[in-house]
A and B are shown apart, each in its own frame.
Chain A
């Protein structure tokens, strides 16, 4: 047996332990690289989503171009939404462009509308099996392993964010499982976010109207913009504390 100084060994172990603890304490939510706007680092394998982060979107409706559908196309491409059913009202749409006309003066605005990732989601309250869930970092998802397709969440959502899959699917993206009989909605491209990328719609918007980032981090681009300008939450009277904010409406 080697002649180890027990005190030295203890100090070495304690030092390593503290360093490790310190690293794990700051690793969740730590932006190791501040690359570009609101790009987070890829979350290390084996770590859960952190409640210290709250992912959100800021959409500047004044920059949104009428007639442009790039965000919708990007979402459908990324998430494998390609089915075209005979009745188009049965097609899934995770994001859609809405054209708003002010009744008083006819002024038009366009903006994309998707799941608002509420902090107090009505869809989560009403789901009988708990399939409709809010992840620790604020993304509202449907756990399709437990979804029974009752569509109660679709009735409950104030933003008509949810779609129901009406027909069997075969062309799913392997990273975005979706199937017949389950309800689905915008996932904030969770499979991309977890890799440190941005949602497809944000990346593809040619006007740069959408910003993605951590609402809980005051230094993130999105937080700075929300602090600097007037932003609104749609149907704020419902007090759902949304993760998606809008400018210009």
Chain B
């Protein structure tokens, strides 16, 4: 009897903290991220690879651009933003709607890029001439 009670408590505790109820969608705890690809099929790599590796791609490339001065590499952050910024809001940020932010919020991974990088597509700082 005691063993049964222990087992029941364990099962209940596991269920309570299990991720099953968080699987997104209707009635889930966490809303699924809005991943709307405005211009599909034009990304530098297939979606699966991007999902898994975009952080490594961005990290290595930023050092090549910043430190070595290599320009024109495929995964330019500005190019990503131009393509992926929401047509409605014009930015990759935004609660639940931004391409970058909604996924990062869902995965609870801090999005550090946009402390410095401009998240709005096609943004012209005042007075900049191309």
Contact = CB atoms under 8 A, between A and B. Distances in A.
A–B touching in complex (CB under 8 Å): yes
B58 to A, nearest CB: 10
Contact of B69 (A137, A168, A171, A172): A137
Interface stretch (B10-18, B20-28, B94-102, B110-118): B110-118
Interface residues of B, number: 23
A178 B116 contact: yes
Interface in B59-105: 62-64, 66-73, 78, 81
A82 interface: yes
A177 B117 CA distance: 5
A141 B66 contact: yes
B125 A171 contact: yes
A72 B63 CA distance: 29
**From DSSP, what is the main secondary structure of chain A's interface residues?**
loop
A77 B73 contact: no
Given A80-B128, A82-B125, A181-B115, A174 B78 contact: yes
A175 B78 contact: yes
A220 to B, nearest CB: 19
Contacts of A178: 116
A177 B65 CA distance: 13
Contact of B125 (A43, A173, A194): A173
Interface stretch (A6-14, A45-53, A107-115): A45-53
Interface string A49-81: 100000000000000000000000110111110
A120 B115 CA distance: 30
Nearest to B127: A77
A179 B117 CA distance: 8
A145 B115 contact: no
Query: How big is the A interface, by class?
Result: 35 or more
A46 B118 CA distance: 23
Contacts of A175: 78
Given A43-B71, A46-B72, A135-B67, A77 B115 contact: no
Given A77-B128, A80-B128, A173 B68 contact: no
B1 interface: no
B126 interface: yes
Given A47-B70, A143-B66, A145-B66, A78 B116 contact: no
Interface in B13-63: 62-63
Given A78-B128, A80-B125, A145-B62, A179 B116 contact: yes
Nearest to B78: A174
A137 B81 CA distance: 29
Given A45-B71, A48-B70, A82-B126, A144 B118 contact: no
Contact of A77 (B62, B117, B123, B126): B126
B71 to A, nearest CB: 5
A133 interface: yes
Contacts of B81: 174
28 contacts: A45-B70, A46-B70, A46-B73, A48-B70, A74-B127, A76-B127, A77-B128, A78-B127, A135-B69, A136-B69, A141-B66, A143-B67, A168-B115, A172-B116, A173-B118, A173-B124, A173-B125, A173-B128, A174-B78, A174-B117, A174-B118, A174-B123, A175-B78, A177-B117, A178-B116, A179-B115, A179-B117, A194-B69
Given A76-B127, A176-B125, A179-B115, 7 more contacts: A46-B70, A49-B69, A73-B127, A145-B63, A171-B126, A172-B117, A179-B117
